Chains A and B, each alone.
Chain A
Amino acid sequence: DAKTTQPNSMESNEEEPVHLPCNHSTISGTDYIHWYRQLPSQGPEYVIHGLTSNVNNRMASLAIAEDRKSSTLILHRATLRDAAVYYCILRDEGNAGNMLTFGGGTRLMVKP
């Protein structure tokens, strides 16, 4: 599977937007970009995913570069509850196993 690169940690102020970057320069044409997050002492939870176009849902927005070699998860107004580890993961549409390969993720700290 193609690998992703994320900063180890980021800091944000409460109620401000947060942009979490992810580099995936070896992405293939059938790789979907998925984001999961893991709150303290909980299992990971799905945030959003996309293939080529930008995506929005109630939790976040996903901006995908035109060449698909990078993407950005956008939290429009960070809350204290958004403090978590955010994982950017590539999943191959053709991978029958559908497995998630987690990296180290980005630890987001939100200051009040």
Chain B
Amino acid sequence: EAGVAQSPRYKIIEKRQSVAFWCNPISGHATLYWYQQILGQGPKLLIQFQNNGVVDDSQLPKDRFSAERLKGVDSTLKIQPAKLEDSAVYLCASSIGQGVFEQYFGPGTRLTVT
């Protein structure tokens, strides 16, 4: 079974530029999550989708971050414009549903903002 796919794996941009990350969850997984992990810290949830609807985006900085999952499968996370403090690893995870189910994580995208 294929795992959660993410691309790109690495990205370096200058502050005020825009960037987008892509995630393809495990087939059949209805729930998709985006986490931000700053160096030395645990991951922090940014947004959660159930199919193509948003369940929780309370920690998403909506003035610069946006995410979509239009067809209820793959998802994109965008930052526009980027700030230095956005340097982090962006992790995508998926699970079968919203219950107490195991979450499967992708390898992440390491973003460096200079």
Which residues of A are interface residues toward B (Cβ below 8 A)? 32, 36, 41-46, 49, 85, 87, 91, 93, 96-105
A44 to B97, CA, bound (A): 18
Query: Chain B 81-105 against A: per-residue CB contact (8 Å), 1 yes, 0 no?
Result: 0000000000101010111111111
- How many Cβ-Cβ contacts under 8 Å join chain A to chain B? 59
The answer, among B45, B91, B98, B100, for a CB contact under 8 Å with A43, is B91
Using CB atoms, name the residue of chain B closest to A89: B42
Residues in chain B near residue A97, CB distance under 8 A: 48, 55-56, 98
Residues in chain B near residue A45, CB distance under 8 A: 104-105
Residues in chain B near residue A44, CB distance under 8 A: 43, 91, 93, 103, 105
Residues in chain B near residue A99, CB distance under 8 A: 33, 45, 48, 56
B58-112 CB contacts (< 8 Å) to partner A: 91, 93, 95, 97-108
With A43-B91, A98-B95: A32-B42 Cβ-Cβ less than 8 Å? no
Residues in chain A near residue B101, CB distance under 8 A: 98
Interface centre among A43, A85, A91, A96 (most CB of B within 10 A): A43
A97 to B95, CA, bound (A): 12
A-B contact pairs, 15 of them (CB 8 A): A42-B108, A43-B4, A44-B93, A44-B103, A49-B102, A85-B42, A87-B42, A96-B55, A97-B56, A98-B98, A100-B33, A100-B43, A100-B103, A104-B42, A105-B42
B19-54 CB contacts (< 8 Å) to partner A: 31, 33, 41-45, 48
A97 to B33, CA, bound (A): 10
